[in-house]
Amino acid sequence: MLYPPIAPFASGMLPLDGLHAMYWEQCGLPQGYPALYLHGGPGDGCVPACRQLFDPGFYRAVLFDQRGSGRSTPRGELRDNSTAHLVADIERLREHLGIERWLVFGGSWGSTLALAYAQAHPDRVSGLILRGIFLGERSEIDWFLHGMGQFFPEEWQRFVAPIPEAERGDLLAAYYRRLTDPDPAVHLPACRAWGRYEGACVALRPNADAAERAGSEYVALSLARLEAHYFVNRVFLPEGALLDGLARIRHIPAAIVQGRYDVVCPPATALRLAQAWPQAHYELVEAAGHSLWEPGILEALLRQLERFRDAHLAGRV
């Protein structure tokens, strides 16, 4: 279903401050319609296959690794790393690339960041395509730490195994202490355990590759540390802020794609967003979990990208 593999036509490192630098790349048509891809996590980073979502004959696709993630430096860094920082980074990248407005595409944590960015800069967003909705609320964080284990009990037992029983009353705090310990002998095993847990729960059918990637040292170091950092800080947003801010973006064309059996970000959250935002197109994909690469999810997202392309070419957006 994906477009053929493609290499970037431009890439670089954008200094953000005295500490962080952002890796970015562009692919597709240099004079094409700008589209921004926001990866999940936080802390995951982009992979080359993400470039293949965008029609290279229409889109000028922009991908970047968020602070502390992927090829951005320093990897796994928690200082000066918050939702407000990431929103400001997106604006800096837009200005750096000379883009007036762009379609914003984000899944999981990427949907959170897409909504936060659009509400902060609605005049810079021409459309939104959102997947696997995460609003950053307390109940969603608690679900990640405890609820997913109702469906993946073996994986949850492996997840909590590194934490002594006396500390499991506050699992997030116990993990955060280990993940932020400067000793690699302490933080790396905790990172891998966290990453393996998440990777094992993302797909409807077992996906050993996803679990192995998420549990690898390279991915897990930034994924686990940054997710725990954002969870401890309640994603740096007031409870309910993204739903409260919908009035600022109701006019923006939007699509919400959600897997029926998404265990990481259950569909109840996507339904809340869709009901609060009836102007958005809402699609619940049966026989699909959380992952972008689930066949039904991927098909729906590609269809939404094509719908936006065709609407633009017809002059409707």
Q: Is residue 284 within 8 Å of residue 267, measured between CB atoms?
A: yes
What's the DSSP call for residue 4?
P
Joined tokens for residue 88: 């400001």
pLDDT of residue 206 exceeding 80: no
Report how far residue 94's alpha carbon sits from residue 143's, in angstroms, rounded to the nearest whole number. Answer: 34
Domain range 10-137+236-313, its CATH number among 3.40.50.1820, 3.30.9.40, 3.90.930.12, 3.30.590.10: 3.40.50.1820
At residue 207, the pLDDT reads 76
Q: Where are the domains of the chain?
A: 10-137+236-313, 139-235
Average of per-residue pLDDT across 248-268: 98
At residue 34, the pLDDT reads 98
Report how far residue 294's alpha carbon sits from residue 155's, in angstroms, rounded to the nearest whole number. Answer: 20
pLDDT of residue 43 exceeding 80: yes
Residues with catalytic annotation? Answer: 108, 262, 290
At residue 62, the pLDDT reads 99
Rounded to two decimals, the pTM is: 0.97
pLDDT of residue 211 exceeding 90: no
pLDDT of residue 171 exceeding 90: yes
Residue % of the chain over a pLDDT of 90? 94
Higher-pLDDT residue of 157, 317: 157
